[in-house]
A and B are shown apart, each in its own frame.
Chain A
Amino acid sequence: MKRKMPSAIKGIAVHTILLVSSIVIAFPFLWMLTNSIKTKAEIWQIPPKLLPSTPQWNNYAIALADGTLFTYIWNSTYTSAIITVIVLINSAMFAYAITNIKFKGRNLLFVIVMITYMMPVAATYVPDYIIISRMGLINTHTGYILSCTASIFTIFFFRQAFMQIDKSIFEAAKIDGADHKTILWHIVAPMSSSSFATLGIFTFVGSYNNYLWSSLILKDQKKYLVSMGIQAFFSAEGSYGLNWGAIMAACCVIVLPLLLIFFIGEKWIINGITSDAVIKG
């Protein structure tokens, strides 16, 4: 009896912490959702109402009227997909080479990568912009994609993951006559599939949501990614009396599909992130 009491208290404390944090964290999303179907009067009402008396789907009609939001979503989706595939392949190859191929200068190379890893990406913006413009690729998705194809973070984490694979596996494969290409794609990659999943998700999410760099490269509104697109919509609606209902509706259109995909694939995504290979570092 004496032992049970603390565990009951502990249970209550634990659930209180979790419930309160979940509500606080989820609330901005709920607020976005309910405000997206309120009238202007309801939005400016004090005290605020959680739910509108009649849902104003018209806000969505305003947000989607010219179809640009779908263009932004498509732009973000396809550029991020290409970037993710390239980054996963070239980073895995690079990480494999510096962990398993004994070639001249690999230690020096790793030191350079580590130093670059500490550098803020911002320090590259001005020269990168100039390079992209010299290549004639300003205002093109190609320029944006190309400039995002080196990910030091991904290389670094692949290296951590690959170093944890038992060396004897490589030796055995080499004795069987496997070359490095086969070892990487048929042995190492399947063994570190969770790292591929995690880094793939990080790369995709990062580039899907990219704002600062993409806004420097892409000028034409038709080429905007979602973050620039939603910001442009925000400024446009803001200029004539802040139509918060439509702005919230636009945010919903951008955010909800992402949340939906995340809720469906939650287990898979989070288990990938928390797999030992990525974390140990």
Chain B
Amino acid sequence: MKGNLKRRNNENITGFLFILPALLPLVLFWIIPLLYSFFLSFTNWDMMTPEIHFVKFYNYTSLLKDPAFYKTLLNTLTFAVGTTIPSIILGLLIAMALNGTRRGTGIYRTVIFAPYITPMVAVSIVWSWIFEPRVGLLNFVLSIFGLPKLNWLQSADTAMLSVIIVTVWKQLGWIMIFYLQAIRRVPKSLLEAATIDGAGVFSKFFKITIPLISPTTFFLIIISTINSLQAYDQIQVLTQGGPAGATRTMLYYYYQEAFEVFNAGKASAIAVFLVILTVIFSLIETAVSKKTVHYN
């Protein structure tokens, strides 16, 4: 009995010592700041004056009355959906193609994954040159096909599309890698049995592969939407949120309010909305997954 108690005490001490090296920075740089952000969202602090004034819900109500805020919300949703869905579909398509071949798999895989490891800022600079309306590569390609030239980053109609293109280009390989592994785990025997039963390529894909890899799809959708809510680098380099706020997402709005205007209170309120949006996304995705994801 006494030995047992001593052992449990030991486990408590060892457990505490094991979590400590991560717990310290976790508390200092995550948990306290998150709570502090929430607190700041009820103030109008400018990040400089020593005293902090309470404004109750002012930051929230003024945001909810501000059309510009709804624009950033809409931009954020457009960006999230616009990057996640194409990345998932194209990533799966490429992974299926890679799975269907043996020759050159390594080279294709390497090339398609490569953008993921490069700095977003550097590749965005390269892309800003590709988007250049007069001599940029993209408009040249369009002109080959007889299509009209676009103003890409300089037009409010196409700026968001441009930022989405760069983002999908960068994360496609990452999505593909996860799908590649998931597809390989689909039991061959199931697919062979279906072939014997006369199932075609497409019906095997939609009736066997898709349901079996659905946990991976769910995981990738969650990660990709959470990432999209935090996108900053490409927006900062390509458009700075413009033109006319066309690519200003909530995160970018937060950055501008906090570190350009030094309105910590309003910025923190935006951060709280961002948290709420993340939670809503995760809840919706979890609810949908309960109906569609097959775990065995």
- Which A residues are closer than 8 A to B by beta carbons? 6, 10-11, 13-15, 17-19, 21-22, 24-29, 31-32, 35, 43-48, 86, 89-91, 93-94, 96-98, 101-104, 106, 109, 112-113, 116, 118-128, 130-131, 146-147, 149-150, 152, 155, 179-180, 184, 205, 208-209, 211-212, 216, 226-228, 230-231, 234, 244, 247-248, 251, 254-255, 258-259, 262-263, 266-267, 270, 273-274, 276, 279, 281
Let me know if B118 and A258 touch, CB within 8 A: yes
Known interface pairs A103-B14, A112-B31; A251-B126 also in contact (CB < 8 Å): yes
A48 to B132, CA, bound (A): 12
Let me know if B181 and A259 touch, CB within 8 A: no
Which chain B residues lie closer than 8 Å to A259 at the CB level? 114, 117-118
- Extra inter-chain contacts (14) besides given A26-B111, A46-B140, A127-B37, CB under 8 Å: A104-B12, A116-B30, A119-B278, A126-B40, A131-B32, A131-B33, A146-B25, A184-B18, A211-B121, A211-B232, A231-B125, A247-B125, A247-B129, A274-B178
Let me know if A255 and B119 touch, CB within 8 A: yes
- What are 11 of the A-B contact pairs (CB < 8 Å)? A10-B201, A17-B97, A18-B104, A25-B112, A25-B172, A31-B130, A120-B226, A124-B34, A130-B36, A251-B122, A262-B117
Q: Max chain B CB contacts within 10 Å: which of A152, A216, A274?
A: A274
Let me know if A118 and B34 touch, CB within 8 A: no
Which chain B residues lie closer than 8 Å to A45 at the CB level? 135
Let me know if A212 and B233 touch, CB within 8 A: yes
Let me know if B230 and A270 touch, CB within 8 A: no
A161 to B118, CA, bound (A): 27
Let me know if B33 and A124 touch, CB within 8 A: yes
A29 to B267, CA, bound (A): 37
Q: Does B237 contact A (CB under 8 A)?
A: yes
Q: Does B148 contact A (CB under 8 A)?
A: no
Q: Max chain A CB contacts within 10 Å: which of B110, B112, B140, B173?
A: B110
A112 to B22, CA, bound (A): 13
Looking at chain B, what size class is its interface with the partner chain?
Answer: 35 or more
Interfacial residues of chain B within 1-42, with CB under 8 A of chain A in the complex:
8, 11-12, 14-16, 18-19, 21-23, 25-26, 28-34, 36-37, 40
Q: Does B146 contact A (CB under 8 A)?
A: no
Give chain B nearest CB distance to A24 CB in angstroms. 8
Give chain A nearest CB distance to B181 CB in angstroms. 4
A120 to B201, CA, bound (A): 41
Let me know if A124 and B14 touch, CB within 8 A: no
Task: List the 5 shortest-distance A-B pairs measured between CB atoms, nearest first.
Answer: A103-B15, A127-B33, A97-B18, A150-B25, A90-B21
Known interface pairs A123-B274, A124-B29, A231-B237; A31-B18 also in contact (CB < 8 Å): no
A18 to B8, CA, bound (A): 57
Interfacial residues of chain B within 166-215, with CB under 8 A of chain A in the complex:
169, 172-173, 177-178, 180-182, 201, 215
Which chain B residues lie closer than 8 Å to A155 at the CB level? 22
Let me know if A118 and B282 touch, CB within 8 A: yes
